[in-house]
Amino acid sequence: MHIAGSTSLVYIIRNGTRAIAELRDVLLGDKPPAFDPPAPFTPLDAALNPSQQEMRSVSPFAQDVAIIHGPPGTGKTTTVVEVIRQRAAR
């Protein structure tokens, strides 16, 4: 599912059942997720820890979905904020 500068939700709304089926296939592992080519990364938040910085190699380039998980207090929200800021800057 190539989204080309839009969000997954907008893509699903515009493309209906086909888009939901494509997302389902990615989430269930029937289709590999798609990623944009990596771009140079400069953290916008200098306080990111190593595992948060590792997500920068995946999340900002995911065309379908990226999952960030972990126990409470491990910085998931900080990571999501960084991903959003990186996407907004592109």
pLDDT of 25-79, one tens digit each? 888 899 988 887 777 778 888 898 888 887 766 666 777 777 788 899 988 999 8
Structure token pair of residue 44: 């916008």
pTM metric for this prediction: 0.61
CA distance linking residue 71 with residue 82, whole number of Å:
18
CA distance linking residue 66 with residue 82, whole number of Å:
13
* DSSP class of 47: T
The residues spanned by each domain of the chain are 1-32, 35-90
Query: Is the pLDDT confidence value at 8 over 70?
Result: no
Can you give the C-alpha Rg of the chain in angstroms? 14
